[in-house]
Structure 1
Amino acid sequence: MDFKIDRDSAISSRQQIRAAIVQQVAVGDLRVGDPLPSVREFADRLGIAPMTVTRVYTDLKSSGLIEARAGAGTFVAQSALSRLGQSGTATGVWQAIDDLVADAAGRGIGVADLVSLIASRGQAVAAPRVVMVGLFMDATRSYAKRVTAQTGIAVDAIALQDEDPDDDTLRAQLEDRDLVLTFANLHERLAALVPDQDILSLRFIPAEGTRLALAALDPMANVVAVSRFADFMPILTLGVRRFAAHVHTVTSRVMDAPDLGEVLAVADVVVMSTGAETAADAAPDHATLIEYLHVPDPGDIDRLVGSRLGLVFPHPREEVS
């Protein structure tokens, strides 16, 4: 980054640094994945205290403009501003801003007051258009409902398995969205359809009832986890092992596994993901049946969804019930 602080300016060094990074991202000089200088390197280059750079980076991370990668450094993240820079259409935005500032100055309104007016006016702007993409409609609607409850933003639902949209239909449903939420195993398909869309993969954890049921299992129980889809099996298995870590035997199978009936016949507990409920038919009468219901990780909603949508949560939230 080629940037110098104007020490004669009434604008603080912190504000100047932040503005410079934002501008370079918005015009495409800094692109997604580009590294930023380390805090020490940047501070030394500008002749300022490292704490000033740290505060700027913290602010930009919370707004989703940059991201830290453990052991690697700090990089430009995928965001609305980075997409603007990549599209090459920032010139019109800057001209509109210049015109607005000039008009405000002609009315005797300073930049600080103008920013306050814009912030307050932003409350009246149409809410972001967000959609949750899952496999089954009932489950996907429940995920969307939880995100809505936590963020206050209405979230629609698209179910790939139940609705079975063709690629053109799905593309049309996603292109007009500000944010698409989904599972990690669906991300690649959606990204291939709408490569310029903002797609966010959330982590999912077992719902409270499922966690309590798993935690209460006998350590010696023979537990069988069954998924309808092979690509969901790692998520299911990880969740069972995490919340039933005391159980010695956990076996995982997909619904079309040739030995599923044999495995279920000796099960003490059958954990079934959505769409695999018929596995209960092959389970022994004495077996405990647990429907694996899961929810978006509340921490991901606060950190990831919140930053994408410019939301600010003052403190950690508990799981929405």
Structure 2
Amino acid sequence: MQLTIDRTLPVPLRSQLHGLIEYGISCGELAPGETLPSVRELAETLGVAPMTVAQVYADLKAAGLVETRPGAGTFVSERQQRPAPPVGELSMLYGKIDALIEQSRKLGMRSADLMALIGGRVSQGSARDGRRRILMVGLFRDATESYARFIADHLGPDAIVEPATVSALENDPALRARAGTADLVVTFVNKQQQVEALLPDTRVVAIRFTPSQDTRQALAALDSLARIAAVSRFPEFLPILKSGVTRFAPHVADVIADTLDSPDLAAMISKATVLVFATGAEDVLAEIAPDMPGIEYRHSPDTADIERIILPALRLAGQAPRPGQADHLQSDLLEKEAT
């Protein structure tokens, strides 16, 4: 991916650069292990101060998205390729076992009776449902549901994929407790640290998300004389959105972009014939004429990462589902969010 600054965008240069790299990693534009330009090289290429690049690199490193290797340079972190080890999982389990043993002694139970009781409960649970339970954590409700269905379609009936949003996990302790019992949690690369902090005793892995086939086809089918207005909720995502639109609709020369809360939004839309809105910016649909086409710039989970990251993590959890079979189970997690 070539890192370029678009000075026509209403986004500060530092935010642009941060967004280009952060979302470039999350959206598969920058591969794990890929070398990034040096601070001086990138500063000269973009025409910005070296301090700006250094600050962006430092922020991305703190977020776990890039890593520096002495004498070698800065690289896209490869942590998302490896299933994260269960942080604190065993210590928490040991504590529960100790408490259970102490409680059984107070009840006068023999060790053999306790072992038999535990063995019976484990057998019952395995017989009742041997499927692995996966939690897909995203940002927006509808999009996260679609991600969960997409992953379920690729994993088959041996796995249940449930959706939940970051905000719901943050605000609902009961939902967070239930989410913590999942065999595996899947999220975006740039949200992995945040989700790990919310679910510290659960294995969390991150996968990449690429523009969906529907999005690519809709942009490719646009008339070359179209005037596109591209809208994002997040300023940092605007550079990726605009570059993606121009990549999938290279025949359209007139592309302007702005954020959802921009005071110039209505004026920009009035000059356009087609609206392209990033997931999460659906509110902009209320600003357009009924006959104006609207295309959602939506992403889908990277199928290669499902095979390379999710399946091995499930095997570590004790059982790998059979790929290629559909599973459209509904989640009570999102029902919980709606109440």
**Structure 2-normalised TM-score?**
0.51
Contact 2:83 2:204 (8 Å CA) reproduced: no
**What amino acid maps onto 1:168 in structure 2?**
P
2:151 is matched with: 147
Q: Which structure's relative contact order is higher, taking Cα pairs within 8 Å and 6+ residues apart?
A: 2
User: Structure 1 pair 257/146, CA: closer, same or farther in 2 (3 Å)?
Assistant: same
2:211 is matched with: 206
**What amino acid maps onto 2:277 in structure 1?**
M
Question: 1:261-276, aligned counterparts within 5 Å?
Answer: 261-276=266-281
**What amino acid maps onto 1:144 in structure 2?**
A
1:299 partnered with 2:304: yes
1:309 is matched with: 314
Alpha-carbon distance in 1 for matches of 2:239, 2:196: 21
User: Structure 1 pair 139/266, CA: closer, same or farther in 2 (3 Å)?
Assistant: same
**Cα deviation 1:264-313 (Å, max 9, x = unaligned):** 11112211233423323433676432133332122221222122223488
Aligned with residue 156 of structure 1, among 156, 162, 171 = 162
1:172 is matched with: 177
**Cα deviation 1:41-73 (Å, max 9, x = unaligned):** xxxxxxxxxxxxxxxxxxxxxxxxxxxx9998x
Alpha-carbon distance in 1 for matches of 2:281, 2:133: 32
Contact 2:169 2:198 (8 Å CA) reproduced: no
Kindly state the Cα deviation for residue 260 of structure 1 after the two structures are TM-superposed: 1.1
Aligned with residue 133 of structure 1, among 109, 115, 137 = 137
**Structure 1-normalised TM-score?**
0.54
Question: 1:180-219, aligned counterparts within 5 Å?
Answer: 180-219=185-224
Alpha-carbon distance in 2 for matches of 1:200, 1:256: 32
Q: How many residues align?
A: 216
1:43 is matched with: none
2:257 is matched with: 252
RMSD value, Cα: 4.2
User: Structure 1 pair 209/86, CA: closer, same or farther in 2 (3 Å)?
Assistant: closer
Query: Tell me, which stretches of 5 or more residues in structure 1 are unaligned?
Result: 1-68, 92-121
Contact 1:264 1:284 (8 Å CA) reproduced: no
Percent identical residues: 39
User: Structure 1 pair 189/170, CA: closer, same or farther in 2 (3 Å)?
Assistant: farther
User: Structure 1 pair 268/184, CA: closer, same or farther in 2 (3 Å)?
Assistant: farther
Contact 2:152 2:160 (8 Å CA) reproduced: yes
**In terms of Rg, which structure is larger?**
1
